[in-house]
Amino acid sequence: MDRDHKPSDVAAPPTDAAFAPTLDGKQVATSKPAAAGISSDLALMALPGMVPAPLQTWDHYEILRPLGQGGMGTVFLARDRRLGRHVALKFLRVPSPEAAERLLQEARAQARLDHNGICKVFEVGEFQGQPYIAMEYIDGQPLHQALTRLGLEQKVLLLQHVAQAVHTAHTHGILHRDLKPANIMVCETEGDRVALRPVLMDFGLARDSLGPQRLTQTGVIMGTPHYMAPEQARGLARHLDRRADVYSLDAYRKIFDGKIEKWLSGTALGTAGPRGT
């Protein structure tokens, strides 16, 4: 799920935005005319803090509230009316055939990964011509916020779990390519003893070695600069491998305020850090 969402203005899509892409790349006319270069349904979806009118009458999901939006998607907290569970619904922020294809690729890659530290995908579908992903709702905080209340040992253990989740993705041929604290949610697990569960989110920039590569373009810089490997920053997208993700994990050292090396030198976890991915 795209959890690095912050309220912001939505950039206007092209003037033909009255046509929304379906998951198979076809163009479907929306039910309302375009206004100021934005289809009316999409404009409603972009209003901060509001549930768009068309979504309020959806018989499959009850939309509870917006969770936020990022560069690619807008995410809502919803309740599945049939199963009674809460989910996170990700819609495209600015629809286009390429964005619809990338959303489907994201869902397929993420759905192949069965790991407690990776957000689960329940389904993909369309609502009024708009593609969406239904994902596990993680009720927690982004890693960089959760760490402010944790001790050093807890921080290192969380990062170890994240590295194991990334390793699972790598063994299935999937590179995340945007590993940053904002894309890792930390929640409390239920049970006799409260434990913290870090969950890897937002596979929107992921590259699946088993999927189509036409969305991976050399020369296009995608990712977050502070956590980006040098070759990724140079736009060498087709030349990236798992080492780019390992580099991003290693960049997390800055969140330990320089204390991690001293702490690891005196513990048995010295071989379990992100370099072990």
Q: What's the pLDDT at 94?
A: 78
User: Which of 239, 237, 210 is closest to 223 using CA atoms?
Assistant: 237
In one-letter notation, the amino acid at residue 192 is D
Q: What's the pLDDT at 98?
A: 86
Q: What's the pLDDT at 249?
A: 85
Top-level CATH class of 19-136?
Answer: alpha beta
Q: What's the pLDDT at 153?
A: 85
Those residues with Cβ within 8 angstroms of residue 69's Cβ, 6 or more apart along the chain or in another chain: 2, 5, 6, 7, 8, 10, 46, 75, 93
Treating both helix axes as pointing N-terminal to C-terminal, what angle do 152-171 and 242-250 enclose, rounded to 10 degrees? 170
- Residue 269 pLDDT > 50, yes or no? no
Q: Which of 78-82, 103-107, 151-155, 259-263 has the lowest mean pLDDT?
A: 259-263
Confidence band, pLDDT 50/70/90 cuts, at residue 246: confident
Top-level CATH class of 141-276?
Answer: mainly alpha
Range with top average pLDDT, 64-78, 166-180, 251-265: 166-180
Mean pLDDT, the chain, rounded, equals 74
User: Which of 37, 36, 40, 43 is closest to 13 using CA atoms?
Assistant: 37
Q: How far apart are CA 276 and CA 160, in angstroms?
A: 9
- Residue 252 pLDDT > 50, yes or no? yes
- Residue 88 pLDDT > 70, yes or no? yes
- Active-site residue, selected from the candidate residues 4, 178, 202, 245: 178
CB 13 within 8 A of CB 94: yes
Q: What's the pLDDT at 164?
A: 95
Q: Which of the two residues, 255 and 93, has the higher pLDDT score? A: 93
* Bridge partner list, 189: 195
Q: Is position 245 annotated as part of the catalytic site?
A: no
Environment class of 71 (CB within 10 Å of its CB; exposed 0-12, middle 13-18, buried 19+)? middle
Please report the beta strands in 104-253, taking only residues with DSSP state E, as ranges in sequence order.
121-127, 130-136, 141-142, 174-175, 184-189, 195-200, 207-208
Q: Which of the two residues, 191 and 89, has the higher pLDDT score? A: 89
Q: Which of the two residues, 222 and 170, has the higher pLDDT score? A: 170
User: Which of 20, 47, 49 is closest to 32 using CA atoms?
Assistant: 20
Q: Which of the two residues, 31 and 182, has the higher pLDDT score? A: 182
- Rg, the chain, Cα only: 19
Q: What percent of the chain has pLDDT over 70?
A: 65
Helix, strand or coil, per DSSP, at residue 96: coil
Q: How far apart are CA 114 and CA 119, in angstroms?
A: 9
Mean pLDDT of 107-128: 94
Q: What's the pLDDT at 69?
A: 79
Range with top average pLDDT, 76-90, 143-157, 261-275: 76-90
Q: What's the pLDDT at 15?
A: 32
Mean pLDDT of 123-138: 94
Mean pLDDT of 23-29: 38
- DSSP letters, 46-79, are HSTT---HHHHT-SSEEEEEEEEE-SSEEEEEEE
Mean pLDDT of 226-253: 77
Mean pLDDT of 105-123: 93
Mean pLDDT of 173-183: 89
Report the 10 Å Cβ neighbour count for 150: 15
- Report pLDDT digits (tens) over 149-168: 888 888 888 989 999 999 99
235 torsion bin: left (phi>0), alpha (psi -120 to 50), beta (else)? left
Q: Sign of the C-alpha dihedral, residues 205, 208, 212, 213?
A: positive
Q: Where are the domains of the chain?
A: 19-136, 141-276
